[in-house]
Amino acid sequence: MGRRPPEPRNASNPHRSPVLLTLKEYGWSIGPGAPLAVIAGINVLEDLDLALTIGSALKESCAALGLPYMFKASFDKANRSSIKSYRGPGLDQGLEQLAAVKEKLGVPVCTDIHEPDQAARVAEIADLIQIPAFLCRQTDLVRAVAEAAEAKDKLIQVKKAQFLAPWDCKNIVSKIGEVTKTERVILCERGASFGYNNLVVDMLGIGEMKKLGTPVTIDATHAVQLPGADPRTAGASTGGRREGVAVIARSAVAAGADGVFLEFHTDPDKALCDGPSCLAIETAKPLLTTLKQLHEITAAAS
């Protein structure tokens, strides 16, 4: 007797159409029928002047292209390679800077958290609360973010862990759905790790994640990281392949990504965190122009 063919890997997943998510106050949207959504800024807050410079340039570029823009920056990077690496200004000062960016530029903001007790305070300021990839299975953190988003009517972005298959994100979406509506959730692809200081992005995974009923973004910046492989510090920090950011972003948008997650700097080589993976701010508008065109072609063909 022949062997029974294996079940498809995603056979247990519900197949739902992605929903349109909006922040009406800012005219920001992501999902079916919306323009390419842009979540972009700097990796970690260094000072308010830099945040405003980057945010202003990106807002201007997105406005010229008709793309919805959201500023992104972290107040703390808790998963650095070395205990000596720069982590950011911390929760109090970081939220003050994010609030200032939000007020001065009139744009929504996104930041990530690492501890459950940060969720309620972050939800006071952030419009999109991000769960880092390595922490996406931490039940207490996921629940705290879902509760805070429910209380303040905010959105949630979950980065797919480097060790998860795309279809296994169903458990994260389901977990959030036990606390608040899943129509708050954006899933983010950022590559899979097989060790050996590299990440690989499966573009077919974007479609698999969209089957869970959520919009999907591509974190093209962190997808080109080379963990523990920065020659400047003999492996004590993360390296990167800056030239690959545009390649990953273009490929993901062509594969159906609803939005892009990108990081910029006025002087990438001097960035205090993940400099080898971020782009010079002057490259933003040309890249976004191409990504907008790809998104429109892909949407028309689907």
Annotate 242-298 with three-state secondary structure. Answer: HHHHHHHHHHHHHCCCCEEEEEEECCHHHCCCCHHHCEEHHHHHHHHHHHHHHHHHH
Is 43 tagged catalytic? Answer: yes
Catalytic residue among 72, 77, 102, 159: 77
Among 159, 140, 136, 44, residue whose Cα is nearest residue 90 = 44
Q: Is 77 annotated in the active site?
A: yes
Q: Give SS3 for 166.
A: helix
Q: Name the active-site residue from 13, 43, 210, 219.
A: 43
Which 3 state secondary structure label does DSSP give 28? strand
Largest CA distance in the chain: 71
From the list 76, 112, 258, 274, the catalytic residue is 274
Does residue 253 contact residue 295 with C-beta atoms inside 8 Å? yes
Is position 274 annotated as part of the catalytic site?
Answer: yes
Residue tagged 């929903």 (tokens): 19
d(CA 176, CA 288): 31
Cβ 88 vs Cβ 44: under 8 Å: yes
| Paired residues of 259 in beta bridges | 37, 217
Residues identified as active-site: 43, 77, 274
